[in-house]
Structure formats: structure tokens, C-alpha cells
Amino acid sequence: MGAPGSGTMVEALAILDAAGINHQNAIIQELDFKEVAVALQDKTIEAGCIVAGIPTLAIVDVADSREVYILEISDDIYDAIKKQHPFFVRRVIPSGTYNGLDKDVRTVAVMAMLVTRADLPEDTVYNITRAMFENLDILTATHIRANDIMLDTALEGMTIPLHPGAQRYYREMGIIE
């Protein structure tokens, strides 16, 4: 379910809890991504929960060496997760992302956020926010996950207050009023 104390473990347990799976009705181990991949390949575990960006090397490795199934998160389970943890969002793992994945699979995700101290000057945060969105081509050239950074979904899953500098930028862009 993730390394002990990791965000992955917290997120995985929230997903399992929404599905009615817990320490009383399942054997839950604290394994990091690599350990999950090895255990799946060795057939020493029946399932693993990996909370990470798509594609994830740990899943690529397993899917390249044996048949895997990626379980879809149903609307009922998603609704239960979202009710308890509003920072989760709905996402789709596209067909073909992993060897043997021949259809899109609906799942959940936790969005990455750029976080700062509240006392950072408004102009500084405004300029950082603006620079990020005005230079997405540079970011996407460096890492595939940067394709997920979009102005129209920038606040999706946001459960913490926006810094005044970020508010100013999003207001100028028409994202907030």
C-alpha cells in the first residue's frame, strides 16, 4: 500500500476504505513501488496499489513481464472517496498505456500542487504562477506529466487557500472571479 507513512499509503488506504477493504478483511502490506512490482512479478501478493503518475515504471515493468489487470474505480467508490477526501479527482488511464491494457480505465488521482508560505510577496507568487503557465512548452519538453498542467483545471482538487499572488493571476485569466 506504499512505504510506511508515505502519501501513497494514505491515498491507497483511502481508496481501499471507500471500497470496504481494510485490515480486518485483507492482509495489507506496506511496500514501496519497487517492492510491489517485484511481489506482483513473483506472485507473492495478489494485488498492489500504486498511486503515481501515468505511466508508472513499476507498472510498466510488471506488465512487460506478466499479465496484469488494472481495476477501475466505480462511480460509487469514487463518490465515497470524494466525500471523505475532496482532493481526489477522476482520471482515466488511456488504453495502451501499459502492455495488455486494451481499454481506457477510470481511476482516481491526487493532483500535484505548488505550495508556498503565506508570507511570500504577492508579486513573487504571481510571477511564478504566470511563468509556469506561460512556459508550459518548456515544462512538457522536460517531463511528460507536465502535459497535465492546464489552466482550466489548475484548481481541480484544490483544498487549501490560494495565495493572493496566485489568486491575482487566476483572476486575470478568468479562472476565478
Q: 41: part of which helix (H) or strand (E)? A: helix 33-42
Q: Which is it for the CA torsion 34, 35, 39, 40, positive or negative?
A: negative
Query: What span, in angstroms and rounded, lies between the C-alpha atoms of 12 and 73?
Result: 12
Q: 63: part of which helix (H) or strand (E)? A: helix 57-65
Best CA proximity match to 60, nearest among 91, 30, 37, 32: 37
Cell 490560494 belongs to 162
Query: What span, in angstroms and rounded, lies between the C-alpha atoms of 171 and 177?
Result: 6
SS3 162: coil
Beta bridge partners of 91: 107
Best CA proximity match to 8, nearest among 49, 45, 41, 36: 49
* pLDDT on residue 26: 87
Query: What span, in angstroms and rounded, lies between the C-alpha atoms of 73 and 94?
Result: 14
Could you tell me if 98 and 70 are in contact, meaning their C-beta atoms sit under 8 angstroms apart? yes
Query: What span, in angstroms and rounded, lies between the C-alpha atoms of 146 and 125?
Result: 19
Tens of pLDDT along the chain (177 residues)? Answer: 778 888 888 888 899 999 999 888 888 888 888 888 889 889 899 888 888 888 888 889 889 988 889 999 999 999 999 999 998 999 999 999 999 999 999 999 888 888 999 999 999 999 999 999 999 999 989 887 788 888 998 998 888 999 999 999 999 999 998
126, three cell numbers: 504571481
Best CA proximity match to 50, nearest among 105, 3, 86, 100: 3
* pLDDT on residue 144: 79
- Upstream peptide bond of 55 is cis (omega within 30 degrees of 0): yes
Q: Which domains does the chain have, with CATH numbers?
A: 7-110 (3.40.190.10), 122-172 (no CATH)
